[in-house]
């Protein structure tokens, strides 16, 4: 290559950088995404997520059931207003079961915690293996060390989800009372509908960061709440969830194709999209680390 061509190539490389992030890493990340068959790993993680979902919902609904039926009603109202549509039906069904049997709320919490932590830890284990493929590093922890790590990570993720649900329920109900007293019901309702979604996005990013921390890392770094991959994954999750929810709401033939399985198929597809976003973020973090070594 002649000197002028090398100079132009170098200038092009400079223009493909934003701060310390090489934008070409996004293309290389997508290439490695398919090389590592992460779309298939996303499908596997979707199965693990589906298995762990009901126990996790039992924990959440059980905790809110201990607070009282108004808390469950508020959570139901928020779920009905949220996306994606198919997920709402499954979650609302679990909440209705807890509401119909309020005396078992305490038992539901205990049984749900044990069942969810064990079954959902399989999801964390699957993600750790997928992350091992991403980082070209096999998971070699002994069982006595691996399982507690998976359960600890699972507990952190469930607590994060429960925390955001409680925050939406408690702060939303409290703020409604205050807004009613000062005569700002309409303004507050609009503001709350806007504010709560960035909060949920922050919690999603925290969940991604927790899973990235537990997975095998080529550098052995500690917990990092904000990473390029985490930011991209969260943005992709928000856009994907909103876009898919809008698609379901606007396509008239969607229910005709799947019939009675529409909710289940739609929910699984949303879980798959969510896992793809998370895996792409993990691949991007790994690619940026590899780029530092070049």
User: Is the per-residue pLDDT at 67 higher than 60?
Assistant: no
The first and second tokens of residue 286, run together, are 């790994």
Cα distances from 53 to residues 48, 57, 113, 260, in angstroms, run 9, 6, 12, 20
Q: Give residue limits of the domains in the chain.
A: 36-292
User: Is the per-residue pLDDT at 41 higher than 60?
Assistant: yes
3-state secondary structure of 12: helix
Q: What residue spans of 215-261 are helical by DSSP H?
A: 228-250, 254-258
pLDDT tens digits, 95-123: 566 555 554 555 555 665 676 677 678 88
Nearest to 94 by CA among 53, 66, 123: 53
User: Is the per-residue pLDDT at 92 higher than 90?
Assistant: no
By percentage, how much of the chain surpasses pLDDT 70?
49
Q: How many CB atoms lie within 10 A of CB 15?
A: 9
């Amino acid at each position: 290559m002649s000197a002028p061509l090398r100079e132009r190539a170098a200038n092009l490389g400079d223009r493909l950088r934003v701060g310390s992030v090489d934008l070409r890493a996004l293309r290389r990340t997508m290439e490695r995404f398919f090389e590592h068959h992460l779309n298939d790993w996303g499908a596997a993680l979707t199965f693990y997520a589906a298995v762990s979902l009901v126990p996790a919902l039992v924990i959440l609904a059980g905790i809110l059931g201990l607070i009282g039926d108004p808390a469950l009603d508020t959570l139901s109202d928020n779920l009905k207003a949220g996306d994606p549509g198919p997920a709402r039906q499954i979650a609302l069904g679990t909440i209705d079961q807890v509401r119909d049997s309020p005396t078992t709320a305490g038992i539901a919490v205990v049984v749900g915690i044990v069942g969810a932590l064990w079954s959902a830890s399989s999801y964390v284990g699957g993600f750790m293996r997928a992350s091992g493929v991403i980082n070209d590093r096999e998971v070699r922890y002994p069982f006595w060390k691996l399982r507690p790590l998976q359960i600890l990570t699972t507990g952190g993720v469930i607590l994060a989800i429960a925390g955001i649900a409680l925050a939406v329920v408690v702060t939303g109900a409290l703020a409604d009372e205050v807004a009613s007293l000062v005569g700002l019901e309409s303004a507050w309702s609009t503001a709350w509908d806007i504010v709560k979604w960035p909060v949920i996005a922050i919690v999603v990013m925290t969940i991604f960061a927790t899973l990235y921390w537990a997975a095998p890392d080529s550098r052995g770094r500690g917990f990092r709440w904000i990473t390029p991959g985490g930011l991209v994954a969260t943005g992709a999750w928000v856009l994907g969830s909103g876009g898919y929810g809008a698609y379901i709401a606007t396509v008239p033939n969607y229910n005709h194709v799947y019939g009675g399985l529409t909710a289940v198929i739609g929910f699984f597809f949303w879980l798959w999209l969510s896992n793809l976003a998370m895996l792409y973020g993990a691949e991007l973090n790994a690619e940026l680390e590899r780029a530092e070594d070049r």
